[in-house]
Amino acid sequence: MASNEQSTSNAPVEIKPIRVLIAKPGLDGHDRGAKVVARALRDSGMEVVYTGIRQTPQMIAEAALQEDVQVIGISILSGAHLGLFPRIVDELNSRGIDDVLLFAGGIIPDEDIPTVEDIGFLGVFGPGTDTRDIIEFVRKNAPSRD
Amino acid sequence: MLQAEINILELEAIINGLRNGDRRSLARAITKVESDSADGREILRQIYPHTGRAHTIGITGSAGAGKSTLVGALARVQRKRGKTVGIVAVDPSSPFSHGAILGDRIRMQDLTSDDGVFLRSMASRGNLGGLSEMATGAADLMDAAGLDVVLIETVGAGQDEVEVATAAQTTVLVANPGAGDEVQSMKAGLMEIAQIMVVNKADLVGADTAVAQLKTLLAIADHGSWIPPILKTIAKTDEGIDMLADEIQKHFDHMRSEEHFDVERRNHVRGQIIDLTRAILQRRLIATTANDSTLETLINQVAERQRDPRSAALELADVISQKWSEY
């Protein structure tokens, strides 16, 4: 350790909940799914920053940077995922953010899933997903912050 | 030992980056402070000499008073005046899951694409007593990173939140029209900590009554050389926000004036040290009782009504003091 500040607290209670950003890019305004996931993650003890709807890739990347989240979940129902997802990854990369877990939800056709995974989204969760599966996925794959 | 060296280099990089205004370093530093790690405390120790330039402003009030909207509006006005803005927005953690939904960005959408603004959401993380350390620590980091104004937003309910608000140099209390009972409850303490009072949502019925009530309360409250102004705002449409920014600036100038600087500065620092000490003691209390059987024994005795809770608490305090003195 860099310091010998034993005196500050003799049995440090370090608290590190997983921090997650949930965002909705593009123009569709249906955020029920995003809110359900946000709540489920909160109820499992995570801290969830919810950005609201109509986010640009740049806004999402900037929020991820400022909030220093370990995980980003993107909800999209408009069909623009193949256009927007690479731009989100580009914006993250341009800020040097290469250590976050990305996952997606919403309406993403099965045939697009391999492409979405190639772009860097490790998990894709469509309608009907059990939120417990998402929680488990995040717990298992979230990078540590130390 | 190699790991320790890597760690020191990492901290150095974060501190240097932060002081050069690198946003990623600032974000990472806040994470370390927020997790109450030894790294976080080391960063705070090293950057403190470089703080003191920013004006820290606490915004508090009950849930739904319009704090987030007001903070957003205030940030926009500060940006128009050429100032860079840091925001620490605290939302409560769930007492059940300890998780939190941090939703302040929803009300501050337009600020996300402004690189003169840095917004960090923070969960209150329950009753570990570290909220003021976390939030004011984050504010210090933003100060050291060169941001001109730092806004700290908390829900004004509970000791921790009030502490955070008072840790700021200027505290703004946000109330609403028609909240008669709330105004009554402000007698209990919030009145005394605010340097500026705002009746937000002033387009609602009862705004003038609320202002009048606050004036009456102020007349009997104990304030020093600064008399808190009472303003009406409609944050949603930016109404009254310019005037609020003016009053905030006036308070800053008042504080910085030769006549008041020493007293204000010392009072501020006194409050800060006491609050932080309380937080540390509270954490020690939690840590000590977690590893000690005394509390369990006392719980059994009181539950069986073999003794009263007050004498049990006194005994626990004695046992803890004894343990601490051994460190």
pLDDT digits (tens, 9 = 90+) for A2-32: 333 333 333 344 468 999 999 999 888 788 9
In a domain, B35, yes or no: yes
pLDDT band at B218 (very low <50, low <70, confident <90, very high): confident
For residue B120, the domain's CATH number is 3.40.50.300
What pLDDT, on a 0 to 100 scale, did the predictor assign at position A6?
34
For residue B327, pLDDT over 80 is answered with no
In a domain, B14, yes or no: yes
Residue B24 and residue A65: Cβ atoms within 8 Å? yes
**In a shared domain, residues B153 and B247:** yes
**In a shared domain, residues B116 and B56:** yes
In a domain, B265, yes or no: no
pLDDT band at A1 (very low <50, low <70, confident <90, very high): very low
In a domain, B270, yes or no: no
The ipTM, to two decimals, is 0.86
Domain that holds residue B303: 277-325
In a domain, B247, yes or no: yes
Which whole number is the average pLDDT over A49-66? 93
**In a shared domain, residues B105 and B40:** no
Rounded to whole angstroms, the maximal C-alpha distance in chain B is 66
B interface test, pick of A4, A10, A100, A131 with most B CB neighbours within 10 Å: A10
In a domain, B191, yes or no: yes
> How far, in Å, CA of A117 to CA of B321, rounded?
56
Q: How many domains does chain B have?
A: 3
For residue B318, pLDDT over 70 is answered with yes
pLDDT digits (tens, 9 = 90+) for A108-142: 999 999 999 999 999 999 999 999 999 999 999 99
E-only strand ranges, B115-164 = 117-123, 149-155
Q: Is A68 on the interface with B (CB under 8 A)?
A: yes
**Domain range annotation of chain A:** 22-141
Lowest mean pLDDT among B20-24, B43-47, B281-285, B297-301: B281-285
In a domain, B266, yes or no: no
pLDDT digits (tens, 9 = 90+) for B115-159: 999 999 999 886 555 677 788 899 999 999 999 999 999 876 656
Produce one character per residue of A89-109: b if its CB has 16 or more CB atoms within 10 Å, e if not: bebbeeeebeebbbbbbbbbe
**In a shared domain, residues B56 and B183:** yes
One-letter amino acid for residue B326 of the chain:
E
Q: Please tell me which of the candidates A10, A14, A62 has its beta carbon nearest to residue B112.
A: A62
Q: Does domain A22-141 have CATH number 2.40.420.20?
A: no
